[in-house]
Structure 1
Amino acid sequence: MSTTEDRNKAIVREAFDTLFNQRDYTAAERFWSPDYIQHSAHIAPGRDGLFNLVKSLPAELKHEWELIMAERDMVMVRGRFTGHGQPAPWIAVDFLRIEDGVLVEHWDVIEEEVSRGQSVSGLPMYGDTFPEEP
């Protein structure tokens, strides 16, 4: 039997795939509370603010996750957003609070991914390669 944390991680993985990759807004409604609280400085309030943002982005938008961690009702996702029409992918850490199997609150930290030439550390920000390398 899986733990609450395992269930919450699975919910977030499916929710993100449904909204950001499949762009299935009707199906995504079952994952996001109608009373969703948005703390992001980049997204308008509520579930509608999030859905409207995604609708405004190019169809090529994709989210991939690299790390998902959970403790009790909180889930953290470290991922990359590509295809959003900006010069560089976004590396994001999203924090979500889950209540009764539904996403009810969100915070994030977002930064543009840098190339090898821009990386002072000489290391990629996401995965094992830089965005310009295969």
Structure 2
Amino acid sequence: MPRTTPEQNKALVLEAFDTLFNRRDYAAAERFWSDRYIQHSAHIAPGREGLFSLVRTLPATLKYENQLILAEGDHVIAHGRFSGNGRVAAWVAADVVRMEDGKLAEHWDVLQDEATRAQSVSGLPMFGDRFPG
């Protein structure tokens, strides 16, 4: 497959995240994640199946929203929120993805619970311009 541009990589990551996390279409998601996918997250079992298995355990209300996406070369960083995760707080994440042959090939993340207004020492929300409800 021809090498993809940073703009194409950003679009692929957003479509992949929507397909897996929002639509829960595992068959379609397979076309976005490499079968040699390398997972560096401490919260997710190895490989593509480790990720898909985790998502299957999360509530059907799970929703991914993207706030910012950046790409350079074959790396993409997506700043997003995973709400409806069955926990008190949504997760705010910086997902770093390495692309290879037009697929998500490797992943790292920085993940934390979203702070409320009362919890925010800075007085600013972690995602968007409003605090969670």
Normalised TM-score (structure 2):
0.96
CA separation in 1, counterparts of 2:77 and 2:120?
Answer: 25
What percentage of aligned pairs have identical amino acids? Answer: 66
Matches within 5 A, 1:73-92: 73-92=74-93
How far apart are residue 118 of structure 1 and its match?
A: 0.7
In structure 2, C-alpha distance between the alignment counterparts of 1:14 and 1:123, rounded to whole Å: 29
CA RMSD of aligned residues (A): 0.8
The corresponding residue for 1:50 is 51
Map Cα deviations across residues 56-81 of structure 1 (whole Å, 9 max, x no partner): 00000000000000000000000000
How many angstroms does 1:127 deviate by?
A: 0.5
Moved over 4 A (4+): none
What is the aligned partner in structure 1 of residue 26 from structure 2? 25
Deviations 1:7-53 (A, max 9, x none): 00000010000000000000000000111000000000000000000
User: Structure 1: 5+ residue runs without aligned partners?
Assistant: none
What SS does the aligned partner of 1:125 have? coil
Q: Which runs of 5+ in 2 are unaligned?
A: none
Please give the TM-score of this superposition, normalised by the length of structure 1: 0.96
**CA drift at 1:4:** 0.4
